[in-house]
Amino acid sequence: MNKIEIVPFNETHVNQVLYISTLSFKTPWTRESIEKELENELARYVIAIKDGLVIGFGGVWNILGEGHITNIAVHPEYRGLGAGDMIVEALIELCKLESIASMTLEVRKSNTVAQNLYKKHGFIEAGIRKGYYADTKEDAVIMWKHKV
């Protein structure tokens, strides 16, 4: 069993990130939106690789000195191996390197697996955004991690 590696996201990963996005999200990101993230000066993305395959990805934006996690996804066949933990840890480390003191995110209220992952890394629930998700009108839980 090969270990999981975390590496920076680049253009060679777009197809695999798009595929994982379609498997993981009710409204997946488009190819165009993924490609634009490569050009976004505020964005930092990492990829989880196992046996030469992209098995997960995650990103954070540096907005006025706060880290906003945009998304994290792991291929369903590779969940439970620790890739999600490694991605969150890598995003936290990226924020530390950029002297970001706080991180935030929104997560579907029904996605308790993701909420528990974030809680494990020190994120706390701070509020609800009613009807945040346009596709289902589901509420989002706002989570914060202070003192990164």
132 is catalytic: no
- Determine which one of 39, 106, 125, 132 is catalytic: 106
- Determine which one of 89, 118, 132, 138 is catalytic: 118
List C-alpha distances in Å: 86 to 56, 73, 80. Answer: 10, 12, 11
45 is catalytic: no
List C-alpha distances in Å: 133 to 61, 67, 74, 126, 147. Answer: 19, 20, 20, 18, 28
Residue numbers annotated as active site: 106, 118
